[in-house]
Copies of this chain bind each other. A is one copy, B any other.
């Protein structure tokens, strides 16, 4: 696919998205319409049947049954990512393909954290991963590594999103951990095989982390650091942003304090995150297997119970349907029709941008 680099060209994709609206438009368009929108024939061909168009290096890489290429026409392509303004035309996955659609929390921060930050990242990741939340981060040194390590320790799921080709593990010292992550979760990249890690790639990688996740927790970050970009991208997508406060004398808490002043949730405990994401409500009845990838066992005993679960998952902050799909584990069509019923019954109301929120009723 390296030879067909235009297929993965993000500016081209972005302009095509402007023409077709959402990703679905590109998927459903004819080859001719795609060509008019500037999408190269090779990319068009790739969208119709990616594996037919692979180069020998890619074919060799795909020989490993844990290696996958997921174009955004694929049902495995994460719904939350497809909705983001800029998404890679395909993801390279090494590890568990199903992990991609698990409800995720991004945990990010400084590459040179204090012991306070490192411990916090590891402990939060361990606690949350044990409760079924997938921990997504960037495989960098410092906070990212501590987050992955915490999730691995809990035998939970963790995703490492790379700023390089999926076959280029950076930094080298994290290779053993990357191997573990492949076993317990997955490595994810939007860049072609062999792409070296370059400074320009990291903002794109950060955008991917933000877009994959229901929310982003910034543990420690200096002012004007990359983690704040991840947080701002998350906020721009309407996702929750969480930040850990710290000493006013710690330069690595200043970025977090700035985020809190700008509206991020000041976060003291991992439980704050679960309750803000409305996550505990529907996972508390799940089988107590923290490594399980399955969502909650939804009883089919009638719509009422499912409606209740959906309502619990919604909360009073507006959320869009894709977020609800991830939170509940229900099928998109089911969520869509249930929301219509809930809206007609006056339980929820539509907000701008296709989002919904619960209706507050006064109790008597």
Contact = CB atoms under 8 A, between A and B. Distances in A.
Interface of A: 116, 120, 244-249, 253-254, 257, 260-261, 265-269
A8 B66 CA distance: 80
A269 B248 contact: yes
A123 to B, nearest CB: 10
Given A266-B257, A266-B260, A266-B261, A248 B248 contact: no
A34 B254 CA distance: 55
A248 B248 CA distance: 13
Chain copies in the assembled complex? 2
B248 A247 contact: no
14 contacts: A120-B248, A244-B248, A245-B257, A245-B260, A245-B266, A246-B246, A247-B247, A248-B267, A254-B268, A257-B268, A260-B260, A260-B266, A261-B265, A266-B266
A9 to B, nearest CB: 38
Contacts of A268: 248, 254, 257
| Most B-side CB within 10 Å, residue of A120, A246, A267, A268 | A268
A204 to B, nearest CB: 31
A336 to B, nearest CB: 34
A266 B116 CA distance: 20
A147 to B, nearest CB: 16
Nearest to A254: B268
A218 B254 CA distance: 19
A245 B257 CA distance: 8
Contact of A246 (B120, B247, B267, B269): B247
Nearest to A265: B261
Nearest to A119: B249
Contacts of A245: 245-248, 253, 257, 260, 266
Nearest to A120: B248
A262 to B, nearest CB: 10
A116 B116 CA distance: 15
A267 B261 CA distance: 9
Given A245-B246, A245-B260, A248-B268, 19 more contacts: A116-B247, A116-B249, A120-B248, A244-B248, A245-B245, A245-B247, A245-B248, A245-B253, A245-B257, A245-B266, A246-B246, A246-B247, A246-B248, A254-B268, A257-B266, A257-B268, A260-B260, A261-B265, A266-B266
A254 B245 CA distance: 11
Contacts of A260: 245, 260, 266
Among A245, A257, A260, A267, the most chain B Cβ lie within 10 Å of the Cβ of: A245
A266 to B, nearest CB: 5
A310 to B, nearest CB: 27
A324 B245 CA distance: 33
Contacts of A265: 261
Contacts of A246: 245-248
Contacts of A120: 248
